[in-house]
Chain A
Amino acid sequence: MMPEQDLLLAAEESGATAIESAGKTDAPALVLRGIHKSFGSQVVLNGIDLTVASGETLAVLGRSGTGKSVLLKLIIGLQKPDSGSIHIHGQEITGLDIDALNEIRKKMGFLFQHAALYDSLTVEQNVAFPLKRHTKMTASQQRDRVKELLAAVGMERDLEKMPADLSGGMQKRVGLARALALEPAILLLDEPTAGLDPITSDEIDALILKLQEEHDMASIVVTHDLHSAKSIADRIALLHEGNVLIEGSFNDLAKSGDEFVSEFLKRDS
């Protein structure tokens, strides 16, 4: 724990510059402690504790409305927790101002449930958007990088297409390419296979596995898809009534005697 505390102190003293130094240490990629979040009287998250190591993939499972997507939005700072702390590579992010938070966000990639591609921009412009904003690449360098990213997700022939002309699976691929544009250290995936047919889901899973191997990122995958979770995650956390009910490998979950866990896994058997 001591190195982590040192990092927190360093971060408080030097602001965003501590992020870079934090990234070079052995601090976990992500640490959530005692996260509470309510919307009005509805308690969604009730004291969540989670840790994700660098290079590890954690799948977060749970019934609809258990706050899985909210958890991802808290991690990337789109929403603020009511209480608790979120450390990204040792840096506490819940109290950061917008500039410091944006520096942290550059080190994270987010694939939204419905891809959330900018519908007034082409596929190429969508993927180039973070590059234009946050790098000093020349136009030709940006174009090469976009082609490289789109080739990695099998969309290199669709540079000029508009998002409305793409299928759901293709939009997810482009969304994934955009999420990877800045070579993030942490990848957040919100229902990457939701609404896709089984073959496309398997293709997306294979793609995520390939990209994880190539980029060595910490990933958090929120999903309902047990098959997908089993194939891409190192570890699974099952949310129930605002808490992590059980955390471990798929086998650990399968061996659990808990009635809810058994019920949840039944569909996959």
Chain B
Amino acid sequence: MRSTLTSVWSLTNRFLEWFGNLGFFAWQVLRAAVRRPFEGRELIRQLDEIGSRSFPLVALAGAAIGAVLALESRASLVQFGAKAMLPAAIVFSIIHETGPVVTGLIVSGRVGAGIGAELGAMKVTEQIDAMEASGVNPYKFLAFTRIVACILMLPLLTLSADFFGVVVGWIANTLVEPISFQKFIHQGLAGTSFNDFLAPTLRTAVFGLIIGMIACFQGMRTRGGTAGVGLSATSSVVLSSLFVILADVILVKFILVFFS
């Protein structure tokens, strides 16, 4: 019993320590962010790295979701005599939940691992020290630019996942029962407002903040050579995915309260 309590106490302590260090890291990034220079070129490079290079994977995942939703939902809706609701079911579920969450998790995997490993390798090979020694603030040059790029790119990537999901959902649907794209969209968007579209998409900016912040934090605190780099990459993905899911639950409740 005592050993269990000790383990729980130790785990709680480690968790609180990690959170405290993350808060301190966020404060340092924020402090660095408001000082010149603003690292425009590096930000553009990161927008390209995080945005354009994640696009194919995100688009493919969106397309797969659209196809699966169309195939899976059709049988159930037909059974209940609600076949006409199929476009609305596909569009609504993609825009509201699956598009944002799947994009968040895919970017957690691709970008989180990339940032964690890259910054981790830079840390253990003293490249971050070299940057600091040459009078460049790594919290701004390395962390701030990546975090901002994640925040800006997540909503755009979500839009692309939504687009490909809806288009492929329509294709999968029309292969079984032909319907024009215009009619599909018209039925899909019937009864939805701009808020239904805006709030779920913008909540992925919070996912971007979580992914960028955690991946940069885990990368820049790497210790222990190549094994440490591997751990940083893994922990970046695991922790950012976990917090994206938690944030999703909280934000969905928030959106239901304030935007419905």
A residues whose Cβ falls under 8 Å from a Cβ of B = 73, 76, 78, 98-99, 102-103, 105-106, 108, 110, 112-114, 116-120, 129-130, 133-134, 178, 182
Contacts A102-B136, A119-B121 aside, 7 further interface pairs with beta carbons under 8 A come to A78-B129, A114-B126, A118-B122, A120-B118, A129-B134, A134-B134, A134-B135
B residues whose Cβ falls under 8 Å from a Cβ of A = 32, 35, 37, 118, 121-122, 125-127, 129-137
CB distance from A114 to the nearest CB of B (A): 7
Q: How far is the CA of A129 from the CA of B35 in the complex (A)?
A: 19
Would you call A102 and B129 a contact (CB within 8 A)? no
Q: What residues on A are CB-neighbors of B122 within 8 Å?
A: 118-119
16 contacts between A and B (CB under 8 A): A76-B133, A98-B137, A99-B35, A102-B137, A105-B132, A105-B133, A106-B135, A108-B133, A110-B133, A113-B126, A116-B127, A117-B130, A118-B122, A119-B122, A130-B136, A134-B135
Would you call A116 and B135 a contact (CB within 8 A)? no
Q: What residues on A are CB-neighbors of B126 within 8 Å?
A: 112-114, 116
Cβ-closest chain A residue relative to B35: A99
CB distance from B55 to the nearest CB of A (A): 21
CB distance from A187 to the nearest CB of B (A): 12
Q: What residues on B are CB-neighbors of A98 within 8 Å?
A: 32, 137
Q: What residues on B are CB-neighbors of A182 within 8 Å?
A: 134
For B127, give its contact among A102, A110, A118 (CB under 8 Å): A118
Q: What residues on B are CB-neighbors of A130 within 8 Å?
A: 134-136
Q: How far is the CA of A103 from the CA of B35 in the complex (A)?
A: 14
CB distance from B133 to the nearest CB of A (A): 4
Would you call A112 and B137 a contact (CB within 8 A)? no
Q: What residues on B are CB-neighbors of A120 within 8 Å?
A: 118
CB distance from B39 to the nearest CB of A (A): 10
For A133, give its contact among B32, B130, B134 (CB under 8 Å): B134
Cβ-closest chain B residue relative to A101: B135
Q: How far is the CA of A116 from the CA of B122 in the complex (A)?
A: 8
Would you call B134 and A112 a contact (CB within 8 A)? no
Q: How far is the CA of A106 from the CA of B80 in the complex (A)?
A: 73
Q: What residues on B are CB-neighbors of A102 within 8 Å?
A: 135-137
CB distance from B136 to the nearest CB of A (A): 5
Would you call B135 and A112 a contact (CB within 8 A)? no
* Top 3 closest pairs, chain A to chain B, by CB: A116-B130, A102-B135, A116-B126
Q: What residues on A are CB-neighbors of B35 within 8 Å?
A: 99
